[in-house]
Amino acid sequence: MKFAKTAWFMLVLFLVGLVVAIPARADQWNKKTIVTINQPMEVPGNMTLPAGKYVFKLHDSASVRHIVQIWNEDETNLFTTILAIPNYRLTPTGETVISFHERPGTQPQALRAWFYPGDNFGQEFAYPKTRALQLAEASNATVPAETAEPTAENLASVPLVAVTPSQKEEPIAQAIQTTPLEEKTTSEPPMVAESRELPKTASPVPLVGLLGFVSLGLAFGLRLLVKRAS
């Protein structure tokens, strides 16, 4: 009888562990990051966000991993959904990295790219073409640009091009290489990332199903052991 109680207690602990682990796994899948900004920040879509806390995370899609959403801190208001392209850096860090396009004067800094802690590949954001041309000229850098207005229906299929400082349009693959993104620092960094989770790249859905089967198997095995011990 003592063995039976111990076995069932272990099973309950295992199931409680699953309940705790699954939400954390979901955060690793969408790379949710809470970010604090201390000055206004321009984001694609003709929008400037004031200083405050925001949530960056990937759109919930297994097939398209370059759509980023920006929410308010408690995720009750979606400010914008942004198309992006992969950008690469040689040395990942344990901190979130967010970079900006250079801007003249006191204008709000324009969001350029976001790297999740521990990732080599990050998200470089595309702007509407007119704005991308202005940013490319002002920052003397090539900027990804949307060739059509994104909607909920065409979000994953909007063609992107690269616009250069000389106001030319070029294919993304030709103009923007997967080379390390130059990361500039300032005396007063505009953002402090609060997220510390390390990422996983596999979907949590198969994991949940597998853990469910494992739980059933453990319960059946423990039941047999209990019968034999009684």
Decide which of 36 and 152 is more confident: 36
Q: Do 144 and 129 share a domain, yes or no? A: yes
Burial class (CB within 10 angstroms; exposed 0-12, middle 13-18, buried 19+) of 227: exposed
Q: What is the pLDDT of residue 82?
A: 93
Residues 86, 23 within the same domain: no
Output the 3-class SS for 18-52.
Answer: HHHHHHHHHHHHHCCEEEEECCCEEECCCEEECCE
116 and 132 together in one domain: yes
Q: Are residues 96 and 2 in the same domain?
A: no
Arithmetic mean of pLDDT, 144-168: 89
Same domain, residue pair 18 and 82: no
User: Looking at the structure, do residues 68 and 1 belong to the same domain, yes or no?
Assistant: no
Q: Is there a single domain that holds both residue 169 and residue 209?
A: no
Average pLDDT, stretch 49-63?
Answer: 88
- Are 7 and 113 in the same domain? no
- Same domain for 45 and 25, yes or no, is no
Which residues on adjacent β-strands are paired with residue 84?
A: 125
pLDDT at position 40, please?
93
Residue 230's pLDDT band (cuts 50, 70, 90): low
* Confidence grade of residue 2 (pLDDT, cut at 50, 70, 90): low
The pLDDT, as a whole number, for residue 215 is 52
pLDDT mean over 192-196: 47
Average pLDDT of the residues of the chain: 74
Q: Are residues 9 and 97 in the same domain?
A: no
Least confident of 19-23, 103-107, 123-127: 19-23
Same domain for 209 and 193, yes or no, is: no
- The model's pLDDT over 79-98, given as tens digits with 9 standing for 90+, comes to 999 999 988 876 777 888 89
pLDDT (tens digit, 9 = 90+) per residue, 198-224?
Answer: 333 344 444 444 445 445 555 555 565
Q: Show the domain range for 191.
A: 33-151+158-198
The structural domain count of the chain equals 2
- Residue 39: other Cβ atoms inside 10 A: 12
**pTM of structure:** 0.68
Residues 162, 220 share a domain: no
